[in-house]
């Protein structure tokens, strides 16, 4: 067979248009082509190659099929979730943001970069699942909510103190980020509080495309949040926006709303600094109980998840504008 057009059409149908350069190498029916596996998880590549080979060997005149696989190295969009101080609900926001983005169709993964105080395994119900090696890289754990994730909390023994100096923490972060993420194109990274070694390593080695800053409404938290914003701005990392957490508490008995941490501080600060305000999340017993139980509110239909979905929608708009060059 000299006309390869019919075979090229069959190959395209079998692989969704991923083949190119189809040609015969000799007059003995040796067919060669290139298979583009960009964006495919490692475990999905061999089955696709086998399907292609089997489909073409069924065709007259084809006695051998040689496939060269190629993949473009794709840079993932990294969204850092940071805060100036601990205890403001940053990890809860990061987990629910990842889950909500997935529900919007974003191919998202989650990294728990809080090396010394990892909490994502509990929040994402994956405490007892250990990551495996895929070649020289870690393979992410598939959480119960369809978001692949990695955390030192899945590597260390439960309750074990992670007593590493700064360089070791930096290397651990690199292993988590530079893992075998497959077709994931957006990575939510839950940073530790403050502006220390892990943040500096993140900026130097895996510069985020943007950062979401979480703060509670009171002045002390906002002062620390401003420091985190300053670090990202100095490194030319855009601030996607601010989130005000623990914003108001509705009494479950009488329904009266109180503001133990104040109200509107983060929104006012965002306005002063010329930053987008992404939304507020209330201080809620429902969110606390669900999070402790490994059930992100954004994963279901609970009204407690609505603030996270609204925030994720704004982040998704930011991602789409970025892809379009806006």
Give the start-to-end residue ranges of the domains of the chain: 5-70, 77-323
- Model pLDDT, residue 119: 87
Q: What is the pLDDT of residues 257-282, one digit of tens each?
A: 666 665 667 778 888 888 999 998 98
The answer to which of 101-105, 206-210, 217-221 has the lowest mean pLDDT is: 217-221
**What CA–CA distance (Å, rounded) separates 257 from 278?**
21
- Averaging pLDDT over each range in 101-110, 139-148, 244-253, which range is the top one? 101-110
Tokens of 254: 């009488």
Average pLDDT in the 120-142 region?
85
User: Where residue 74 falls among pLDDT bands split at 50, 70, 90?
Assistant: low
Kindly tell me if the per-residue pLDDT of 315 is higher than 90: yes
| DSSP H/E element including 232 | helix 219-234
CA distances 218 to 92, 223, 259, Å, are 19, 9, 10
- pLDDT of 144 strictly over 80: yes
Q: How confident is the model at residue 283 (pLDDT cuts 50, 70, 90)?
A: confident
Whether pTM exceeds 0.85: no
Task: Judge whether 5-70 and 77-323 match in fold.
Answer: no
Please, what is the average pLDDT of the chain?
84
CATH number of 5-70: 3.30.300.130
Given this model, what pLDDT does residue 52 score?
A: 95
For residue 308, pLDDT beyond 80: yes
For the residues 230-243, what does the mean pLDDT come to? 91
Give the pLDDT confidence score for residue 128 in this predicted structure.
Answer: 80
Closest CA to 196 of 164, 221, 222: 164
**Contact (CB, 8 A) for 120 and 148:** no
For 69: left if phi > 0, alpha if psi spans -120 to 50, otherwise beta; the answer is: beta
Per CATH, is 77-323 categorized as 3.30.300.20? no
More confident position, 39 or 122 = 122
Q: Is the pLDDT of residue 210 over 80?
A: yes
């Amino acid at each position: 067979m000299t006309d390869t057009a019919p075979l090229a059409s069959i190959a395209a149908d079998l692989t969704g248009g991923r083949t190119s350069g189809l040609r015969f190498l000799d007059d003995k029916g040796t067919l060669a082509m290139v298979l583009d596996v960009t964006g495919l998880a490692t475990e999905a590549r061999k089955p696709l190659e086998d399907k292609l080979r089997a489909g073409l060997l069924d065709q007259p005149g084809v006695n051998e099929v040689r496939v060269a696989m190629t993949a473009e190295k794709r840079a993932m969009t990294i969204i850092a979730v940071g805060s100036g101080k601990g205890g403001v609900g940053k990890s809860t926001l990061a987990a629910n943001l990842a889950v909500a983005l997935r529900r919007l169709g974003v191919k998202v993964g989650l990294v728990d970069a809080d090396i010394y105080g990892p909490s994502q395994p509990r929040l994402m119900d994956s405490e007892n699942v250990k990551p495996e090696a895929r070649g020289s890289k870690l393979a992410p754990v598939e959480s119960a909510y369809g978001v692949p994730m990695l955390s030192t909390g899945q590597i260390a023994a439960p309750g074990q103190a992670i007593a590493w100096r700064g360089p070791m923490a930096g290397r651990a972060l690199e292993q988590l980020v530079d893992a075998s993420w497959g077709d994931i194109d957006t990575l939510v990274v839950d940073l530790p509080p403050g502006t220390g070694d892990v943040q500096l390593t993140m900026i130097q080695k895996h510069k985020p495309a943007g950062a979401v800053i979480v703060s509670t409404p009171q002045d002390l938290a906002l002062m620390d949040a401003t420091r985190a914003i300053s670090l990202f701005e100095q490194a030319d990392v855009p601030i996607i926006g601010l989130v005000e957490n623990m914003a108001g508490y509705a009494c479950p008995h009488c329904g009266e709303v109180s503001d133990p941490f104040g109200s509107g501080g983060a929104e006012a600060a965002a306005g002063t600094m010329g930053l987008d305000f992404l939304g507020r999340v209330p201080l809620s017993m429902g969110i606390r109980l669900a999070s402790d139980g490994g059930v992100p509110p954004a994963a279901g239909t609970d009204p407690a998840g609505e603030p996270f979905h609204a925030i994720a929608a704004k982040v998704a708009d930011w991602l789409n504008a970025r892809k379009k060059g806006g």
